[in-house]
């Protein structure tokens, strides 16, 4: 099995292809739950093609697939999806406002399913992925289900560093369920990652959707998934982790992109904790920050000094620097998000009933006259917006 091989072999050789091959016995699916699978993407049609092909092989058939094209630089993704629709049922949604959490929110508002499941465009889902996720929604107290994220390949030194020395994205092979009585809500990031997560749509609407100031496309760079998990726990619901919901992720192949990724994680972790403090007045965020600085960053530097940690010093420094940048990044991102709303109009929503917005209705809404604004005007209006090419 993947995790067992990982423990028994502390180090793999770069250049040698290693792929997890295990399959888990998934629990029986909750056949009563409908699901919308949302893939947010930007200018990565080759990755998107493989992701959609894997979604087309899902055993569960009670789902719709929505591709949210976020602030594209060209029509390549739209043209590809339109052609793909001739072979498989896929919905295309254009979201011109840049930001991963903005794209996620647009997908949720467009969704028709009772459950909304998210994966990234650089991921390949297992054929039993959705069935394993839906099985946990038999419990009415479960509002969120996450799953195992395994490496699609470990061919380069950078991929080895991320998976075996930084822990990758996996949360292990043992299923668990958490709520606010078992874990501090500000530590909710332990539940999983955005490349493999799902929510009850009605509850996600109730807790306020994703925080637009977090994650890719904003100065915060990441953290949108962790803050959503935090909101679920704070509202009194449970999060279930199911390793049978398996997704394969393509890790960064070179050192430069890995360093950028680790820095972004450092920024995002602190940024989402600042959001907990600013938006929710949760003082537990301060304790989580202190524990992160003491038990993660400090001990990794000590391990490096003692020769016990085989991680380049540049990665440790990049992550620590990101931690401190995150202390102000959330405030900067809120300004960027506010300017975005002014430029494009408020996100369209049909009302308190949570009924899905249609593309036709969206075009008829009061923001329709602002949706054709081009990238040059966006950059003139506010140069702070940054779209992460590597998300």
How many CB atoms are closer than 10 A to CB 199?
A: 28
Q: What percentage of the chain has pLDDT greater than the value 90?
A: 68
Q: What is the pLDDT averaged over residues 361-381?
A: 38
**Domains of the chain by residue range:** 2-254
Please, what's the b/e burial string for 230-255 (b: 16 or more CB within 10 A of its CB; e: otherwise)?
Answer: bbbbbeebbbbbbbbbbbbbbbbeee
Q: Where is average pLDDT lowest: 112-121, 147-156, 269-278, 367-376? A: 367-376
Q: What is the pLDDT of residue 166?
A: 81
List the beta bridge partners of residue 118: 38, 197
- Whether the Cβ atoms of residue 122 and residue 52 lie closer than 8 Å to each other: no
Q: Is 46 exposed, middle or buried (0-12, 13-18, 19+ CB in 10 A)?
A: exposed
What is the largest distance, in Å, between two alpha-carbon atoms of the chain?
63
Whether the per-residue pLDDT at 15 is higher than 60: the answer is no
Whether the per-residue pLDDT at 356 is higher than 70: the answer is no
Q: What is the pLDDT averaged over residues 262-280?
A: 96
Q: How far apart are CA 241 and CA 237, in angstroms?
A: 14
Whether the per-residue pLDDT at 279 is higher than 80: the answer is yes
Whether the per-residue pLDDT at 12 is higher than 50: the answer is no
pLDDT category of residue 267 using cuts at 50, 70 and 90: very high
What's the chain's average pLDDT?
A: 82
Q: What is the pLDDT of residue 355?
A: 39
pLDDT category of residue 81 using cuts at 50, 70 and 90: very high
- Identify the residue whose tokens are 């699901």: 35
Q: What is the pLDDT averaged over residues 1-24?
A: 35
Whether the per-residue pLDDT at 151 is higher than 60: the answer is yes
Whether the per-residue pLDDT at 111 is higher than 50: the answer is yes
Say what angle helices 313-344 and 255-280 make with each other, to 10 degrees: 60
Whether the per-residue pLDDT at 54 is higher than 70: the answer is yes
Q: What is the pLDDT of residue 359?
A: 38
- Identify the residue whose tokens are 């590597």: 390
Whether the per-residue pLDDT at 84 is higher than 50: the answer is yes
Q: How far apart are CA 118 and CA 69, in angstroms?
A: 14
User: Is 1.10.3720.10 the CATH number for 2-254?
Assistant: no
Q: What is the pTM of this model?
A: 0.81
pLDDT category of residue 107 using cuts at 50, 70 and 90: very high
List the beta bridge partners of residue 63: 35
Q: What is the pLDDT averaged over residues 8-33?
A: 40
Q: How far apart are CA 188 and CA 261, in angstroms?
A: 20
Q: What share of the chain is helix, strand, coil (3-state, %, to 5)?
A: 45, 15, 40
Q: What is the pLDDT of residue 342?
A: 78
319 or 384, which is more confident: 319
């Amino acid at each position: 099995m993947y995790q067992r091989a990982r423990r028994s072999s502390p180090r793999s050789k770069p250049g040698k292809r290693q792929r997890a091959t295990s399959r888990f016995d998934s629990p029986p699916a909750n056949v009563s739950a409908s699901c919308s699978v949302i893939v947010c993407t930007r200018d990565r049609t080759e990755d998107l093609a493989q992701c959609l092909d894997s979604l087309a092989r899902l055993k569960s058939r009670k789902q719709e697939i929505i591709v949210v094209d976020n602030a594209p630089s060209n029509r390549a993704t739209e043209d590809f999806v339109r052609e793909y629709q001739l072979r498989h049922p896929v919905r295309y949604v254009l979201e011109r406002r840049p930001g991963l959490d903005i794209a996620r929110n647009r997908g949720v508002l467009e969704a028709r399913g009772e459950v909304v499941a998210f994966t990234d465009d650089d991921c390949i889902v297992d054929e039993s992925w959705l069935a394993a996720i839906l099985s946990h929604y038999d419990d009415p107290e479960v509002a969120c289900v996450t799953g195992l994220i395994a490496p699609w390949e470990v061919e380069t030194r950078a991929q080895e560093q991320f998976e075996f020395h930084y822990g990758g994205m996996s949360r292990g092979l043992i299923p668990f369920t958490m709520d606010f009585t078992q874990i501090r809500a500000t530590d909710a990031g332990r539940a999983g990652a955005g490349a493999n997560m799902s929510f009850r749509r009605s509850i996600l609407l109730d807790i306020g959707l994703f925080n637009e100031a977090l994650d890719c496309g904003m100065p915060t760079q990441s953290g949108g998934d962790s803050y959503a998990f935090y909101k679920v726990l704070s509202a009194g619901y449970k999060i279930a982790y199911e390793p049978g919901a398996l997704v394969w992720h393509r890790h960064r192949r070179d050192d430069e992109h890995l360093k950028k990724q680790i820095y972004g994680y450092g920024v995002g972790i602190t940024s989402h904790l600042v959001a907990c403090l600013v938006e929710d007045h949760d003082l537990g965020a301060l304790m989580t920050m202190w524990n992160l600085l003491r038990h993660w960053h400090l001990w990794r530097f000590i391990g490096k000094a003692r020769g016990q940690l085989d991680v380049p010093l540049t990665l440790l420094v990049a992550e620590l620097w990101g931690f401190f940048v995150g202390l102000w990044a959330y405030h900067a991102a809120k300004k960027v998000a506010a300017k975005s709303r002014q430029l494009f109009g408020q996100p369209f929503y049909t009302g308190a009933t949570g009924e899905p917005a249609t593309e036709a209705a969206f075009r008829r809404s009061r923001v329709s006259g602002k949706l054709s604004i081009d990238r040059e005007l966006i950059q003139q209006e506010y140069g702070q917006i940054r779209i992460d090419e590597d998300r």
